[in-house]
Amino acid sequence: PVTLKEAFKDDFYVGAALNGRQVNNMDAQGVALIEKEFNTISPENLLKWESVHPQPDAYNFEPADNYVALGEKNDMFVVGHALVWHNQTPKWVFEDEQGNPVSREVLLKRMEDHIKTVAGRYKGKIDSWDVVNEALNDDGTLRQSKWMQIIGEDYLQKAFEFARQADPEMELYYNDYNLWKPEKRAGAVRLVRSLQEKGIKVDGIGMQGHYGIKSPALEEVEASIKAFSDLGVKVSFTEVDIDVLPNPSGRAGADIDATFDFDEKFNVYTTGLPDSVQQQLAQRYADLFALFRKHSDKIDRVTFWGVTDNDSWLNNWPIRGRTSYPMLFDRQYQPKPAYNAVLETAAK
Ligand code: G3I
């Protein structure tokens, strides 16, 4: 096989998250790579509340329309991300004109209008929505977000109900990070089971997959694939990247190769990514894809959170000036050793 989508066509969809430059035709090389390699796409930022619905009565659909059109033109599986989240949601959503918190009724109405307007617009075009994103703490308890504080626990149920009403045919997902952690895995199982008990159909659980070179242990990832699949839902890896730098935020990253000059202040290798780390990245991706293939009966899609190293949110985060190398393609749009390593797992 010569492309990712062909290599895994009998296993799962393979995709990438798209940014504004790509959907607005300012990155022709990136788009060419997307059209060649992937059969599913996700919107990195442009369908989040602050992008698509910045003001109470103002929607900004143009980038999202372009995104959906790109997917349709290429016959791709088009994903929506994310209807209800605590991040990248404007402050006005939770406040009245005096800046006081709105009532449960008002917030539920705003949520309903938003979901029905946005998901409704793309009915039959967006194939799967992340309905609720990151509702859990790492210990498996529910995050005390504004949604939770103002509406209460049933905001989850309501979000899924509104989304189902907006488009009865599309897939509805719960999406989160660190779902490999045992306590958080248990929390996600409780969350989805409790929705199912209320008669809500959850189609899938999205495991984001922001990983490091060593952490998490793949046994933990595997345990979550099995536990979620046992709920009768699909499992997808929705935001895959592997950080090759130590991460000052405490998130999974990598050890520094001390034989190379490393700038601690900006969290960068001054002479570029060492070969040794390049090889570790390739091996880690190969191990991960071997696991995905082992469970291809349970896994529906695997989506990278960007296309090239240049696109990744792991640049500049958590430090401005940070230069990371988490993807399969380098800054010149060339496949890295990790790309070949992933393709090789398909041949085995
Ligand atoms: O658009 C503005 C631009 O006008 C401004 O000049 C620039 C200067 O800071 O900021 C731009 O906005 C940034 C935006 O990305 C678009 O690039 C924001 O500052 C930045 O915070 C935002 O980061 C996004 C992040 O979510 C925010 O939560 C990342 O791109 C995006 O990759 C990331 O994606 C999330 C998933 O949605 C959920 N799971 C975790 C994942 C990674 O954090």
Average pLDDT value for the chain? 96
**Cβ partners under 8 Å of residue 153, min gap 6:** 142
Phi/psi for 9 (5° steps) reads -65, -25
Q: For residue 48, what is the enclosing H or E element?
A: none
Is residue 69 pLDDT above 90, yes or no? yes
- How far apart are alpha carbons 209 and 302 in whole angstroms? 9
| Ligand 1 atom nearest residue 82's Cα | 37
**What are the tokens at 15?**
């995709």
Residue 239 CB less than 6 A away from ligand 1? yes
Question: DSSP secondary-structure letter at 334?
Answer: P
pLDDT of res. 1: 60
Q: Which of 129-143, 249-263, 266-280 has the highest mean pLDDT?
A: 129-143
Q: Do residues 268 and 326 make contact, with C-beta atoms less than 8 angstroms apart? A: no
Q: Per the structure block, which two tokens stand in for 94?
A: 């939770």
What average pLDDT does this structure show over 47-65?
A: 98
The answer to which of 75-89, 235-249, 282-296, 297-311 has the lowest mean pLDDT is: 235-249
Hey, whose CA ends up nearest to atom 12 of ligand 1?
45
ipTM: 0.93
pLDDT in tens, 96-155: 999 999 999 999 999 999 999 999 999 999 999 999 999 999 999 999 999 999 999 999
- Closest ligand 1 atom to residue 305 Cα is 32
Q: Are the C-beta atoms of residues 94 and 85 closer than 8 Å to each other?
A: no
197 is annotated as an active-site residue = no
Ligand 1, from 44, 89, 303, 313: best to mutate by most atoms within 8 Å of Cβ?
313
Six-digit token pair at 343? 């393709």
Q: Where are the alpha helices (DSSP H) in the chain?
A: 4-7, 20-23, 28-37, 49-52, 62-73, 104-121, 146-151, 155-166, 182-197, 218-229, 275-294, 337-347
Indicate the burial class of 327 (C-beta count within 10 angstroms; 0-12, 13-18, 19 or more).
buried
Query: If you take atom 43 of ligand 1, which residue's CA is the nearest one?
Result: 313
pLDDT in tens, 161-209: 999 999 999 999 999 999 999 999 999 999 999 999 999 999 999 999 9
Domain 4-256+300-307, CATH homologous superfamily name and number: Glycosidases (3.20.20.80)
Ligand 1 binding pocket mutation candidate from 45, 50, 211, 249 (most atoms within 8 A of CB): 45
pTM check: above 0.95 = yes
| 117 to 58, 110, 121, 174: CA distances (angstroms) | 11, 10, 6, 20
